[in-house]
Amino acid sequence: NAGVTQTPKFRILKIGQSMTLQCAQDMNHNYMYWYRQDPGMGLKLIYYSVGAGITDKGEVPNGYNVSRSTTEDFPLRLELAAPSQTSVYFCASSYSMAGGGYGYTFGSGTRLTVV
């Protein structure tokens, strides 16, 4: 199992450009998440999905879009990149645990700089 794979690891975008951050998991987890991490601010939820075809907004969804056409993939799209979107992005998936609740598996992150 590769776990949660994020690509690319690093990217520099110009203001107004668009791009898609890729996230794939091979663990057959139904639930997937996108977080962004800004310095000193912890991780904030952008979007999440409870299964193929179902997505919902998190705390900071503005400027982003997601889709979930398959269980494995959960791409995050930036349509018009802005400097405020400079951040480290983490994708995660979760699984039910014995005894209740969920465990979470994180990708290694994508460092995005918008200039």
Partner 1 sequence: AQKVTQAQTEISVVEKEDVTLDCVYETRDTTYYLFWYKQPPSGELVFLIRRNSFDEQNEISGRYSWNFQKSTSSFNFTITASQVVDSAVYFCALSEGNQAGTALIFGKGTTLSVSS
The residues binding partner 1 (CB under 8 A) are 30-31, 33, 35, 40-45, 48-50, 56, 58, 88, 90, 92, 94, 97, 99-104, 106, 108-109, 111
Of the two residues 33 and 64, which places its CB atom closer to partner 1 in the complex?
A: 33
Residue 58 Cβ vs partner 1, minimum distance, rounded to whole Å: 7
Residue 16 Cβ vs partner 1, minimum distance, rounded to whole Å: 27
Residue 5 Cβ vs partner 1, minimum distance, rounded to whole Å: 13
Residue 10 Cβ vs partner 1, minimum distance, rounded to whole Å: 11
Angle at 39 between CA 104 and CA 44, to 5 degrees: 40
Of the two residues 68 and 85, which places its CB atom closer to partner 1 in the complex?
A: 68
SS3 assignment for the chain = CCCEEEECCEEEECCCCCEEEEEEECCCCCEEEEEEECCCCCEEEEEEEEECCEEEECCCCCCEEECCCCCCECCEEECCCCHHHCEEEEEEEEEECCCCCEEEEECCCEEEEEC
Of the two residues 84 and 108, which places its CB atom closer to partner 1 in the complex?
A: 108
